[in-house]
Structure 1
Amino acid sequence: MATTIDIVSWFVYLVSAVLFVMGLHCMNSPKTARRGNTISAVGMVIAVAMAFIKLFVEGFVSVVAVVVLIAGIAIGALAGVVSAKKVKMTDMPQLVSVFNTVGGGAAALVALNDILAQETPNLVVLITAGLGVLIGSVTFTGSLIAAGKLQGIRWVKKLSLPGKSVWNILFALLMVASLVMLCVFPGQRLLWSVLTTVFALCYGLVFVIPIGGADMPVVISVLNACTGTAVAMSGLAIDNVALIVAGALVGAAGVTLSVLMSKAMNRPLMSVLSGGFGSDASAASAGEGPQGTMKETSPDDLAVQLVYADKVIFVPGFGLAQAQAQRELADLGELLKEHGVEVEYAIHPVAGRMPGHMNVLLAEANVPYDELVDLDDVNPQFPSANVALVVGANDVTNPAARREGTPVSGMPILDVDKAQNVVVMKRGRGKGYAGIENELYFEPNTQMLFGDAKNSLQSVIAAVKELLA
């Protein structure tokens, strides 16, 4: 029979779950995203507090354990606040990956404890908790590798995996087999739960190692979905409504976002996760590449084009994040708007290194939300743009995507080449992640401005101010 604390806790967890749903709904729009974060955070605080109170009332924890729990919560909260406040916006993908690591690891530990703490766990507990251990462990190591790749840690970037398909299949079979054995032989659950954990940790490594940096937005989204699923499985195992709903929301959102982004790249999700994009073979199939030479321009010449334009479209990419030039781009946009120039920012769904990377980056620079225009809405506007300024975006602007037989064939791109004039800011003459030349750079209406994007934008801003003085 349910006790009073059981009824109260169920109701409180339900309230928390409703707040999670409301918070997620608010994140549909950038204008209400902050409110959504706040609402979700309140829901989480309520859920944690209720779990704490329930444990104390039911006598499951001693006074010493309460002190340890409070210390753990305080340390975790402090670490989260400090890291979130101190991390640069350009490093946000790494932070998201680290949070995925922590979330997956925590879910795995909760599920593992539930398996080992019960004297005779039933089959439902073994299945749900076992899945929590498996998925959480995969997320833990996979997110660690993803964070290392994004951070540019040399030894992580140099990791390679010959015969990647064999290793993926091997560890996938081993971890699933161990999970099955855990459910069939619960008396040996310590052995099989440990083996499931070890094989899942190994699978997380071999899963992410072959995947390149340009595919990290999809990988992060998939790992985020895994974190949510692991949390939901742990919630089912310990019968916690808040964990079930929170995990299900994160998992569903992550899966949906992963599918949408893979469609935006015109590649099956499994192709992205197999790490096959940008291989030497696919690059070689593109042929010799575009003919002609790149035409260079100068900051002064670009300033003249911008000042006398009626409409300018900025196209940000990962190069903007690398150069940390988002504020300079926003300042240039403000200068032009004050002069009466219409300014918009074209956002490709997979530009950057995490979902919404460009949106977050430009939001930090206080670019108005209504000036951020997605691919479908901005493409019809390029023909009317006097200047399209590309800052650090490569493959997502390559006209070769419109032809068959190239590594980017069929990928939806920003129709930058249809603008009246195109200027590309680029550090050097290197190729994009797909391993082929960008045909945009050789178009007759395209000019190149080589150098660090931040320095180049500062020079352009100075030249624009001189013209407007």
Structure 2
Amino acid sequence: MTATGASLGYLLASVCFIVALKGLSSPKSARLGNAIGAAGALVAVVVVSLVARPDRLALILLAILVGGAIGVIAAERVRMTAMPQMVALFNGVGGAAGALVALLELAETGGRGDVDQLAVAAFTVLIGSVTFSGSVLTFAKLQELVTGRPLIFPGMRPVAALAVAGALAAGILVPIGTPLVVVVLLAFVSLGLGLLLVLPVGGADVPIVISLLNAFSGITVTASGYVLGNVLMIVAGTLVGASGMLLTKLMANAMGRSLVNIMFGAFAGPSTLGSTVETDRPVRSAGPADIAILLGYARKVIVAPGYGLAVAQAQHTLRDLTDELERRGVTVEYAIHPVAGRMPGHMNVLLAEADVPYHKLKEMSVINPEFRTADVALVVGANDVVNPAAHTTPGSPIYGMPILAAEDAAAIVFLKRSLRPGFAGIDNELLHGPKTTLLFGDAKDSLANLVAAVKAL
């Protein structure tokens, strides 16, 4: 392939990435945007393979086949509840790839070259290694391979400070022509730094750190592009890094917490993960028949879904219930909190799987005023996102976080497995209020029982 052909290929791939990002901004164009982005990635891989290393084409094709097979299997088998874990692994792979590229470039040149190139290579090793180890630990937390609670050990602050100082010192030494062992030391120190970044983080902060590490992976790709002199990698990495940082900021705002607080976890303040002990305070509960009467004769019902809905894989059963209510003339809408679930848009995608019309999914700022006109707020598997402590209890882990105004509805129905608190580890006063009724059990079973009870009215 000629240089002109390669440049045109890079331009086409870059345009595809930009158009794809625009397409992903709307549910109507998301599928097309995703397809365009995949096409752009294919063009990029083909062009790079033909231009950079045509002598290694067989190995490249083998790697593509293996990676493609892994991707297809993961896409088919990974459940929506495990999607954040998969995103974390993807972030880690991106960071590791960037760090390895920089390490190989430094090894090939023997640590000699332009100072700016060496400095960027050192930065790539640092940020890529942090991304890799931090993402792997994030995956382990979400997969419950290690505890989801903040992990702090005595002397952690000075150890973290030494790790930062060591990484910076090694990063400064690399551009002035130090032995390769310094580069390897930089990689290992940076791996430790990634672990120290994520260890103090727990609970609902973990998905936000995933978004932050996603931005880091984009920055790694951008730096790798500079090291390799590849404009396409710079464009793609910049898009990922910029969108990741914007998403991180939006999620932090939705949690009512500062980004610095979240990044440094327990160093800067309390995590959003506390006790998991069930409360023994009395609540009012009812059976499916009683709840069905409340729902079936309502004029307006607002559904507030949460992670419990995803765990139970109850989105289709919820759709059956809302369809039955609408056949009875009940107006049904869905209240979507920005951090409901375990990743941004988790509830939107989950409900889209059940073919819930997208116009019924209302963002928090839009739906909150409507709770005052609702006869019933049906909270399915959510807790912290409707907890009034967010604006009534200073010092609470969720104080200041915007919440869904379910408390404003005429009646509130909670579908919960137990009285175990949410990620914040604090009791929800709404559960004990005079307007609240609880239906205990697995969300899917409870919803199926409600469907049958509503049909029997």
Same fold (TM over 0.5): yes
Letter in 2 for 1:140: F
Cα distance in 1 between the residues matched to 2:377 and 2:243: 33
Counterpart position of 1:66: 57
Q: Is the 8 A contact 1:217 1:352 kept in 2?
A: no
Cα distance in 1 between the residues matched to 2:281 and 2:69: 56
- In structure 2, the residue corresponding to 1:103 is in which secondary structure? helix
Counterpart position of 1:86: 77
Aligned residues: 450
Counterpart position of 2:318: 329
Structure 1 residue 265, shift from structure 2 partner: 1.0
Say yes or no: does 1:134 pair with 2:149: no
Provide structure 1 residue ranges, at least 5 long, that are not aligned to the other structure: 285-289
Q: Is the 8 A contact 1:134 1:197 kept in 2?
A: yes
Cα distance in 2 between the residues matched to 1:251 and 1:49: 24
Structure 1 residue 450, shift from structure 2 partner: 1.6
Say yes or no: does 1:197 pair with 2:194: no
Q: 1:165 aligns with which of 115, 132, 157?
A: 157
Say yes or no: does 1:418 pair with 2:408: yes
Q: Show CA shifts across 1:131-171 (max 9, x none).
A: 22111111111111111111122x45478331443333222
Q: Is the 8 A contact 2:148 2:203 kept in 1?
A: no
Counterpart position of 1:43: 40
Letter in 1 for 2:433: E
Cα distance in 2 between the residues matched to 1:432 and 1:282: 8
Cα distance in 2 between the residues matched to 1:5 and 1:134: 35
Counterpart position of 2:117: 125
Q: 2:136 aligns with which of 127, 138, 144?
A: 144
Counterpart position of 1:309: 298
Q: Show CA shifts across 1:390-418 (max 9, x none).
A: 11111111112222523122210100000
After superposing the two structures, state which structure 1 stretch, 272-281 or 16-25, moved more. Answer: 272-281
Cα distance in 2 between the residues matched to 1:306 and 1:369: 22
- In structure 2, the residue corresponding to 1:213 is in which secondary structure? coil
Q: 1:44 and 1:281, CA in 2 relative to 1: closer, same or farther beyond 3 A?
A: closer
- In structure 2, the residue corresponding to 1:31 is in which secondary structure? coil
Structure 1 residue 86, shift from structure 2 partner: 1.4
Say yes or no: does 1:387 pair with 2:379: no
Q: 2:257 aligns with which of 267, 278, 284?
A: 267
Q: CA RMSD in A?
A: 2.2
Q: 1:232 aligns with which of 205, 218, 222?
A: 222
Q: 1:291 and 1:410, CA in 2 relative to 1: closer, same or farther beyond 3 A?
A: farther
Counterpart position of 1:370: 359
**TM-score, normalisation: structure 2:** 0.93
Counterpart position of 1:12: 9
Cα distance in 1 between the residues matched to 2:65 and 2:250: 37
Q: 1:300 aligns with which of 289, 292, 296?
A: 289
After superposing the two structures, state which structure 1 stretch, 68-77 or 328-337, moved more. Answer: 328-337
Provide structure 2 residue ranges, at least 5 long, that are not aligned to the other structure: none
Q: Spell out the pairing of 1:342-353 with structure 2 (5 A cutoff).
A: 342-353=331-342
Structure 1 residue 455, shift from structure 2 partner: 1.3
- In structure 2, the residue corresponding to 1:431 is in which secondary structure? coil
Letter in 1 for 2:96: G
**TM-score, normalisation: structure 1:** 0.91
After superposing the two structures, state which structure 1 stretch, 320-329 or 386-395, moved more. Answer: 320-329
Counterpart position of 2:52: 55
Letter in 2 for 1:118: T
- In structure 2, the residue corresponding to 1:448 is in which secondary structure? strand
Counterpart position of 1:182: 174
Structure 1 residue 283, shift from structure 2 partner: 7.0
